[in-house]
Amino acid sequence: MNEKEAARLIDISAVQAYNNKQDIDELIACAKEYHFYSVHTLPSWTSYLSEQLKDYPDIYVGAPVGFPSGGAQTLIKMQEAKQLITDGARELDMVINIGKLKSGEVRYVEDEIKQVRQLCADLPLKIILETSYLTHDEIKVGCELSINAQADYIKTGTGWTQKGTTIEIIKLIKDFVGSSIKLKASGGIRDYETFKKCMALGVDRFGINTKSAIEIVKKFQ
């Protein structure tokens, strides 16, 4: 694998509350230089991001839905998803309703994913489980609901929690889902060694901060 191929496995982002226009512009410049697969910002920057990347069709504009808590009502998530698509998003990463999942309200969670899935039928949909808040059994339920609702990816986290993605959680998810749904590891993937271990376990995509992403891809020659 070379640098360019490694970059095509990575989504870079500036999705912290404090990220300003300078951060967004630096993110865009890095995406253009390295051709990372996808670029994510908070929703208020999506239309700007789309405009800046309009001449780079191989770089996808990604956007978060219900981010970062997942606690918005389903209707609000659907309205947000619809607006993000209008603003140029070509991939959506939706935070699962964590509280509902932990309360055992699986029908609510599955129906919500299905409704957003129907709304963005032509776009990749990733479901963020925020695994650091869930038990192993809850992670498995979240995976099963996402598969049932025909999401494209399970995503491990938002990057907003203190505890990032672990190799243990990657193994747990891959052992449970096999090849039935793709897996995006996000949060805590900051070095080449961890990246390689996750690749070996079958991770399909990575969400990595820009600085770490550049350092990782430069290891591939």
Domains belonging to the chain, first-starting first, are 3-217 (3.20.20.70)
Q: Which helix (H) or strand (E) holds 82?
A: helix 74-86
H and E: helices and strands count for the chain:
10, 8
Whether pLDDT at 16 is above 80: yes
pLDDT at 221: 77
Neighbours of 70 (CB within 10 A): 24
pLDDT, average across residues 179-184: 98
| Sheet strands (E) in the chain | 10-14, 38-41, 60-65, 91-95, 125-128, 153-155, 182-186, 205-209
pLDDT at 139: 98
Whether pLDDT at 197 is above 90: yes
Q: What is the mean pLDDT of the chain?
A: 97
pLDDT, average across residues 92-107: 98
Q: Determine the Cα–Cα distance for residues 66 and 12; give it in Å rounded to an integer.
A: 19
pLDDT at 164: 84
Contact 181, 153 (CB under 8 A): yes
Whether pLDDT at 202 is above 80: yes
pLDDT at 207: 97
Contact 68, 42 (CB under 8 A): no
Q: Determine the Cα–Cα distance for residues 206 and 1; give it in Å rounded to an integer.
A: 15
Catalytic residues: 93, 155, 184
Question: Can you give the pTM of this predicted structure?
Answer: 0.96
Neighbours of 172 (CB within 10 A): 16
Closest among 152, 147, 203 to 174, alpha carbons compared:
203
Whether pLDDT at 140 is above 90: yes
* 106 or 187, which is more confident: 106
> Tens digits of per-residue pLDDT, 30-42?
999 999 999 999 9
- Ramachandran bin of 193, using left for φ above 0, alpha for ψ from -120 to 50, beta for the remaining angles: alpha
pLDDT at 163: 86
